[in-house]
Amino acid sequence: MRAGRPLGLVAATAAVGAGTAANRIAGLPLSSMAATPRAVDDGKVWLLVTSGLLADTPWLPSLFGFAIVLAVALYVLPPRDVVLAAAAGQIGSALIVYGIIGAGRLGDPHAFASVNDLQDFGVSAVIAAWIGAVAAVAWARHSHVLVVAGCLACLGVGLAFRPTVTFLDSEHIVAFAIGTACVSPRFRRIGVPIRKAVAVALTAFGVTQT
């Protein structure tokens, strides 16, 4: 792992660990950190960011998985792509799925009633986005069968620890697609200003890009 990346791994994992501990141990209300479709619709858009600091149940395997996938992402991708995939994957997937829920409720106020107030944990979406980004890079370099098998293995591990699935879990599919897009050549052209901003921010924290 290149210079600065181990520090990024430790810092990101510590941040998620601290956010999770604030809720699970210190008793910080989940409603003050986790997003829900209703809360975001009510204007609490900051929850889209703070939910990325919460590891889902079971929290310890979730945090451990976060660190492992981040380590792989940092090994395969430039730090700016890791940050971009995480932010775009988490926030973008939530906005898209929440938008679908909101549109559905316009036609039927009772639509998606079971998930409208369901707390959303952003760490799993971040993980899905990183897996998508890594898979996109590996697709061009390695056997497609191995890439697909690896993605299915990640899916299997996730379902083993959290087998209950709701409509909000479709965020993982969207986040995976966003992570893939973040490392595509086309995105590299249209996303130059965003990527430069991310690079400047990383440089300010002493993280090298090579």
Q: Is the pLDDT of residue 200 over 60?
A: no
Per-residue model confidence as pLDDT tens digits over 55-96: 988 888 999 999 999 999 999 999 889 999 999 999 999 999
Of 26, 141, 122, 17, nearest to 77 (Cα)?
A: 141
pLDDT of residue 205: 44
Residue 130 to residues 13, 67, 174, 182, Cα–Cα distance (Å) = 14, 11, 12, 10
- Residue 35 near residue 48, CB atoms below 8 Å: yes
Structural domain boundaries of the chain? 5-204
Take residue 24 and report the two structure tokens written for it: 């699970």
Per-residue model confidence as pLDDT tens digits over 18-39: 999 998 888 888 889 999 999 9
pLDDT of residue 36: 93
Take residue 89 and report the two structure tokens written for it: 């994957």
Q: What does pLDDT average to over the chain?
A: 86
Which amino acid would we find at residue 160?
A
Per-residue pLDDT band for 192 (boundaries 50, 70, 90) equals low
CA 172 to chain centre: 8
Task: Average the pLDDT over 170-181 and give the result.
Answer: 94
Per-residue model confidence as pLDDT tens digits over 120-139: 988 999 999 999 999 999 99
Per-residue pLDDT band for 196 (boundaries 50, 70, 90) equals low
Residue 33 to residues 58, 73, 101, Cα–Cα distance (Å) = 17, 26, 20
